[in-house]
Copies of this chain bind each other. A is one copy, B any other.
Amino acid sequence: MTKYRFSELVEALPLILHYKDKVIVVKMGGSFIESLEGKAAFIEDVALLKLLGMKVIVVHGGGNEISARLSRLGLESIFQEGYRVTSVEAMDEVEMTLSGRIGKELVLKLNRCGVKAIGVSGKDGMLIEAQKKYLKHSATSLDLGQVGDVAKINPQMLQMFLENDYIPVVSPIGYDSLGNTYNINADSVAAGIAVHLKAEKLVLMTDVNGVYLDYPKEESFRSCLTSTACRLLLEDSSSLRGMGPKLECALQAVEQGVSCVNIINGSTKHSLLMEMMSNEAVGTQIVL
């Protein structure tokens, strides 16, 4: 019955209006990006959001692929509190995998969808100045090597891309004034960019459905959290499992002016479009 067609689109009209011309930062990470189908759906979603008038910025991670490469080269992957200890030698491999492979693949796929994309890292246009990361809470001062934190974001290059209708695809690599290269957590990069480009929304795509107070108990799932609730949760983040750092990024973003942050499951096909274009609850939303 053709007469009921396009009802979803018609119903999405107020949301399309709301997001038009707004900056939306999407962190794309997790294992779903390794499935061809998952990647294809993600690319289509980004292309559609762009065509619906949003200024989309993609930040990507690359965990599994980096590990595979390092292991192939005989370099062991050691993690400290979730951070990959990164030697200068490994840093080279991390950078090449992120800036030279994963980013370019996303760019190529977006271009083939008819939207224009450019893949950059934090080195291009002096986008991300970094500083070496030191773990604060550790008894022993652990050296994470080339792991860095965002020290400063220079948004001009990304603004040029957005004004000229390009989708920036950003690899989470930073530099410092001495010429060192740093591996930065992609969620932090996405949050920093969202703040500096005055994004309306930051979407963190991952492998789980959102925030569980006591993972994986379904009843502990939360579809909405205020910043106050986040802060309380982060005081004792043990039961959050890996969600802790992600929640911290979300909190920082909303506290610095991003209207809302959504943590959603990238394995659900078209979850990004669903979150943006329907009133249905998808994942966990963090607001001020």
Query: Which of A2, A6, A114, A125 has the most chain B CB atoms inside 10 A of its CB?
Result: A6
**Copies of this chain, whole number:** 6
In the bound complex, do residue B48 and residue A9 qualify as a contact, i.e. CB atoms below 8 Å apart? yes
Q: Which residues of B contact A136 (CB under 8 A)?
A: none
Contact partner, A112, options B92, B179, B181, Cβ 8 Å: B179
A252-288 contact mask (Cβ, 8 Å, vs B): 1 or 0: 0000000000000000111001100110100000000
Contact partner, A273, options B6, B96, B112, B166, Cβ 8 Å: B6
Residue A35 interfacial (CB < 8 Å):
no
In the bound complex, do residue A5 and residue B125 qualify as a contact, i.e. CB atoms below 8 Å apart? no
**Which of A10-18, A186-194, A199-207 binds B?**
A10-18
Q: Which residues of B contact A32 (CB under 8 A)?
A: none
Residue A78 interfacial (CB < 8 Å):
no
A33-54 contact mask (Cβ, 8 Å, vs B): 1 or 0: 0000000010011011001110
Assuming A17-B113, A99-B119, A108-B123, what are 10 further A-B pairs, CB within 8 angstroms? A2-B274, A13-B44, A13-B47, A13-B48, A52-B52, A99-B100, A107-B123, A111-B126, A118-B120, A119-B121
24 contacts between A and B (CB under 8 A): A3-B270, A5-B274, A5-B278, A6-B277, A8-B9, A13-B113, A17-B114, A73-B73, A96-B96, A96-B100, A98-B100, A100-B100, A104-B173, A107-B123, A111-B126, A112-B179, A116-B125, A117-B125, A118-B120, A118-B125, A118-B157, A119-B120, A120-B120, A125-B166
